Copies of this chain bind each other. A is one copy, B any other.
Amino acid sequence: MEPDTVNSSQLQSPQPHPADIAESYDGLAPEDRSALPGTLGEATLLEVITFLSPASGLDLLRRCTESIQTVLLDRLPADDLVDILQEAGNARRTRLLQLLPDSKKRIARSLLDYPPDSAGGRMTTALAAIRPEMTIRAAIDQISARSERSEVLSRIFVTDRSGHLLGKLRLRDLTFNRRSTHIADIMDSDTLSIGARDDQEEAVRLMSKYDLLALPVVDKNRRLLGVITHDDALEIQEQESTEDLERLAAIAGDSQESYLDTSVLTHFRRRFVWVLFLGFIAIISGIIIYRFESLLEAYFVLAIYMPMVVAAGGNTGGQAATMVIRAMSLGEFPPAAVGRVAWKEARVGMLIGGLLGIIVAAQIVFFLPVESDLPAGRSFGHIAVTVGLSLFIQIITSTLVGATLPIAAKACKLDPAVVASPAITTFVDISGMLIYFGLALWLLGV
């Protein structure tokens, strides 16, 4: 160790860390990928697979001999195994399942029943469960006999004979108490848990709220099935934030792969549908402009502020939607709070719209950027009132729609982020044109 060089990702061992091998795997040429099983030991291969995405894990597995495959499949933690099986096609999945020993085949089959984004689809079954009537000595013996299989020892669960969750204790409670103590005397009877069919996002919310290292997953009879661990929580959260961000940018579908590894065609497929849809929606705005041709001919100066009215709506509606979607995905409020949210956004919209309207109206009266003729009897004061009032109305409606649409989507069990982006854009583009030209027609006439 060199005490005066600091490198946060420096590792002492000369062989690269399995996580580093996994990180570079997707960038390797096919022949280098195929060479890996020959150069790494089975233990390292196993670790590399746990750090790979399911798709890449399957790819690496495919490049191993059947005897290595058998060893790896048997020793893979159940959650990683199931992720890989979910990735495989039907034929390959059946073939891989045949390589498993019977006990593990049963576990894998039961886990495959849960949707991939449910708590059951995420959990690992390699946990330590003991009985309340045991002594610490007996518990330690039981756990160490199986410790090979128990990924998760940071929390040890206590169940009755039929597997119902009774409580939990920490490994430190075993370590720092007399070995003759009974588990029942030191366990904590907290049975906070999540149902196997509940959403993985709910699992992260609970783990984050209660600062949990591990969250037990139970069936509908509260029997302990598995556990979701801190590293799953980080992964789920990462995945869910990426999803929210992408939905808000009108990107469809999911990608397990990194940006650079995703093919041009996949990028195209994920983006084109929304671009096409939103493009045709924009034609409606165009048709509205076209219909107001005579108004624009009389007051062509209105064209200058048209993009501003539309943009102000898009920006304020997008801001409101983003804050509300984020707050909901952090579990800050339920759909029932829609009234409080709307009242807050109405006031924020009045402030933003009022101030922006006044500033722009003043700018029109005092520093108009072009010279323009107006019909007799009309002054730039009239134009200023039209533009200012349009901004005010457009921004209030946009903040209201931006904030309430995602809540309505959530209440209808739709993904708020998917609905928000196109619906708000559509709405504010068209509402902006109608408010602007409608007000102008009413206030100015043709």
Stretch at the interface among A36-44, A97-105, A345-353: A345-353
Cβ-defined contact, B304 with A283, below 8 A: yes
Cβ-defined contact, A287 with B154, below 8 A: no
| Minimum C-beta distance from A102 to chain B (A) | 28
Cβ-defined contact, A246 with B326, below 8 A: yes
Knowing A8-B193, A287-B370, the reply to whether A279 touches B308 (Cβ < 8 A) is: yes
Per-position 1/0 for A271-283, Cβ under 8 A of B:
1101110111111
Cβ-defined contact, B278 with A303, below 8 A: no
Cβ-defined contact, A274 with B144, below 8 A: no
Cβ-defined contact, B258 with A327, below 8 A: yes
Cβ-defined contact, B340 with A260, below 8 A: yes
Cβ-defined contact, A278 with B315, below 8 A: yes
Interface of A, secondary structure class, is: helix
Knowing A210-B17, A305-B286, A308-B279, the reply to whether A3 touches B221 (Cβ < 8 A) is: yes
Cβ-defined contact, A352 with B312, below 8 A: no
Cβ-defined contact, B356 with A258, below 8 A: no
| Minimum C-beta distance from A183 to chain B (A) | 14
For residue A444, CB closer than 8 A to chain B, the reply is: no
Cβ-defined contact, A344 with B264, below 8 A: yes
Write 11 A-B pairs (CB below 8 A) sorted by A numbering: A1-B164, A11-B191, A140-B176, A241-B241, A245-B325, A246-B322, A258-B332, A283-B304, A287-B369, A293-B303, A311-B429
12 new A-B pairs (CB below 8 Å) besides A17-B192, A19-B210? A3-B164, A3-B222, A12-B191, A17-B210, A208-B235, A230-B233, A260-B340, A264-B347, A268-B352, A271-B348, A272-B356, A275-B315
